[in-house]
Structure 1
Amino acid sequence: MSNKRILSGMRPTGKLHLGHYTGALENWVARQNETGPDGNRVYDTFFLIADYHNLTTSLETDDIAANAVDMVIDWLAAGIDPQKSPVFRQSMVKEHAELFLLFSMLITSSRLERNPTLKDQIRDLNMDAMTYGHLGYPVLQAADILLYKGNLVPVGEDQIPHVEITREIARRFNKHYLLPDGVAVFDEPEPKITKFSRLMGLDGKAKMSKSLGNTILLSDTQEEIMQKVRKAITDTQKVRKNDPGRPEVCTIFSYHRKFSDAQQVASIEQDCRSGALGCVDCKKMCAAAIAEEMAPMLEKRSEFSERRDLVQDILKDGEKRARAVAESTMQEVRQAMKLG
């Protein structure tokens, strides 16, 4: 394995929004296409539809299959190249479940209960009871990563505890089980800290969320983007056009910083502070900048939406390629454990 290997994934919740794009998808495409001085790719990238993970917080499955296809269409439209990066459903590679079972023997429930991200989820979802699967989802994540022998895990700071659990499981496995030549099956993956650009929701909330209805979808048309941006929260102290504004607290200005060019951002900031620029005109410029960046994606998305059979073929091919890697890893696992 000459290249570093990365596995990333998302739960299949359907069409993606700008928060997904700036928070993860942009980075995925950049890592997929990154080349070294020799012109060769730096990373082998695998992109996972984490449908098993959906079940850790919801038992509803009616929409998972359709949501997975919609999500993959957004991935493809954003630049994920299935020739370079296998795209596949977790549930279609059964080795994920097998390795999850074996890894669950290597970690205590008390260790999982100390996971700070789990505590945050329980609070955010107002959960009064937890399933075994939800408690163990970091173990399933460890199986996802190590099944493909991921070396690097792109994460934000809040996800570091998950990577540490994966490292602990790899370390414990290697301590107890080695291949006949004494070689360890797994490397301990390293977190690759990524400064995800989180977009505020249109309502000024900390992040975009479909459940809050404060998103701009990657599938939105220019008119839909305009309508949504028109209703967005701005600086509450800037009531009239000539009132001086505070760009640092304005949702729309945070979008300008992402989607408008540097010269325009500087001009908007100056004119907002002086009162020369009103919110209506500022929103029009913002919507236009977002629509311009999204236009190529929207066109590609339309093409893939009309060829859902092609998307299914892409998934089947990705699952075949992922399964080959997963089967090879599990052969080593069983050999090291003297199973089967």
Structure 2
Amino acid sequence: MTTATATVPTTAGPAAAAATAVAAASVLSDDPAAHRVLTGDRPTGPLHLGHYFGTLRNRVRLQDQGVEMFVVVADYQVITDRDLADRLAEHTENLVLDYLAAGLDPERATIFPHSAVPALNQLLLPFLSLVSVAELGRNPTVKDEITHSRQSAVSGLMFTYPVHQAADILFCKADLVPVGQDQLPHLEVARTVARRFNERYPHADGSAVFPRPQALLSEAPMLLGTDGGKMSKSRGNAVALGATEDETARIIRGARTDADRRIGYDPVDRPEVSSLVLLAALCQDRAPEAVAEEIGDGGAAALKRTVTESVNEFLRPLRARRAELAADRGHLRQVLRDGAERANAVADATLAEVREVMGAAI
């Protein structure tokens, strides 16, 4: 997500985005309620521990600080890199289930499905007119997604994915967006769209329509999947938040380690072992070095036993809340309806404002 101008052909690079992110991290201490955050996920499967420690925990923290939260269930975006949106309604409800179990409060966070907010998607056309084909082609995240796509050929939707995300962010005029380092190029597109729109279509008094959103970089440490690769819903290498204790034990038992019996915390030279140590440490709220020292010469078996016990103990209350919420699927659907109503009111107002300034310019 980024920013640019009608007259400037290039977007700011990663260094500029990172600098923006650092600046944004300090703003919350002043007046959290003055800020609006947009975040969300694609409903492509159950959320796992990587999601919890990477994003969910931070979203709940921001909500509790008083930041206004918009959480998009990006159902339309599921078809960016796949031919079919398989079990979309089920995945959408389960995503909301994970959100609520993790602590998001629908009274304080607007949780809504992308597809239920038509005005949001109508912003895409004017936004696309502000970004060149060359700029979209240079986006590193898009190139990476295309490389790893499971499709024989990618659609135009994949190519314009960063502009779709810009619409998600700008429709509610979010000024802060929690992202990982790999998503900074997308945020730069949103910043580019905001700046170019403001320069081309300002209000009559010269004021800007959109804020230029800043990145809130996650400080969450990187957790590897149990196969040593990127933790992913689709690779079966992660512990889902809704997994049973037995499923959790089975998944962790199959985790990759190494031949050194002495357990240590060395993310560079022993990434698989260190990721497991870190997972146990996060669940115990302790330093990973202390956890590794405690396991000592116990080897992989003791490490996996510690991780399994730590994860199951940590997730027990979340899983209890999840089971209670899952008994009332109607409540989950009502959360989405209420969120969509609030999001539509915001999106309709933004689209009306966009039409007004564009009409005046034309």
Which one of 49, 56, 64 corresponds to residue 18 of structure 1? 49
Change (3 A) 1:126 1:321: closer
Provide Cα deviations, 1:83-142, integer angstroms capped at 9, x if missing partner: 000100000000121001221111111110010111111222266533211111111111
Shift of the alpha carbon at 1:172? 1.1
Alignment-derived partner of residue 37 in structure 1: none
Alignment-derived partner of residue 62 in structure 2: 31
| 2: CA distance, partners of 1:267 / 1:155 | 29
Change (3 A) 1:192 1:247: closer
Provide Cα deviations, 1:200-235, integer angstroms capped at 9, x if missing partner: 111222x2223221111100122221222222222x
SS at match of 1:9: strand
What's the TM-score, normalizing by structure 2?
0.84
Alignment-derived partner of residue 102 in structure 1: 126
Shift of the alpha carbon at 1:181? 3.3
Which one of 254, 268, 283 corresponds to residue 259 of structure 1? 283
- In 1, are the aligned partners of 2:82 and 2:150 still within 8 Å (CA)? no
| 1: CA distance, partners of 2:86 / 2:152 | 24
Which one of 84, 102, 109 corresponds to residue 85 of structure 1? 109
Alignment-derived partner of residue 213 in structure 1: 236
| 2: CA distance, partners of 1:278 / 1:107 | 54
Change (3 A) 1:268 1:168: closer
| 2: CA distance, partners of 1:133 / 1:45 | 26
SS at match of 1:198: coil
**Partner amino acid, structure 1, of 2:302:** D
Matches within 5 A, 1:1-340: 3-34=34-65, 41=66, 43-125=67-149, 129-205=153-229, 207-234=230-257, 236-238=258-260, 243-248=261-266, 249=270, 250=273, 251-262=275-286, 265-273=288-296, 275=297, 277-338=298-359
- In 2, are the aligned partners of 1:268 and 1:282 still within 8 Å (CA)? no
- In 1, are the aligned partners of 2:46 and 2:241 still within 8 Å (CA)? yes
SS at match of 1:77: helix
Change (3 A) 1:222 1:137: same
| 1: CA distance, partners of 2:53 / 2:263 | 26
| 1: CA distance, partners of 2:192 / 2:36 | 19
- In 2, are the aligned partners of 1:14 and 1:66 still within 8 Å (CA)? no
Change (3 A) 1:267 1:137: closer
**Partner amino acid, structure 2, of 1:33:** D
Q: Unaligned stretches of 5+ in structure 1?
A: 35-40
Please say which of residues 277-286 and 156-165 is displaced more in the overlay.
277-286
What's the TM-score, normalizing by structure 1?
0.90
| 1: CA distance, partners of 2:289 / 2:45 | 36
- In 1, are the aligned partners of 2:54 and 2:218 still within 8 Å (CA)? no
| 2: CA distance, partners of 1:196 / 1:261 | 13
Shift of the alpha carbon at 1:246? 4.1
Please say which of residues 279-288 and 4-13 is displaced more in the overlay.
279-288
What is the aligned residue count? Answer: 324
**Partner amino acid, structure 2, of 1:7:** L
| 2: CA distance, partners of 1:126 / 1:318 | 32
**Cα RMSD (Å):** 2.0
Provide Cα deviations, 1:271-297, integer angstroms capped at 9, x if missing partner: 545x2x233233222211111111111
SS at match of 1:149: coil
- In 2, are the aligned partners of 1:22 and 1:198 still within 8 Å (CA)? no
| 2: CA distance, partners of 1:2 / 1:225 | 38
SS at match of 2:68: strand
Runs (4 or more) in structure 1 with deviation over 6 Å come to: none
Provide Cα deviations, 1:241-283, integer angstroms capped at 9, x if missing partner: xx434442204213223222427x545422545x2x2332332
Identical pairs, percent: 37
Shift of the alpha carbon at 1:180? 3.1
**Partner amino acid, structure 1, of 2:171:** L
**Partner amino acid, structure 1, of 2:143:** K
**Partner amino acid, structure 1, of 2:337:** K
- In 2, are the aligned partners of 1:179 and 1:332 still within 8 Å (CA)? no
| 1: CA distance, partners of 2:39 / 2:146 | 23
- In 1, are the aligned partners of 2:59 and 2:104 still within 8 Å (CA)? yes
Q: Unaligned stretches of 5+ in structure 2?
A: 1-31
- In 1, are the aligned partners of 2:264 and 2:293 still within 8 Å (CA)? no
- In 1, are the aligned partners of 2:265 and 2:289 still within 8 Å (CA)? no
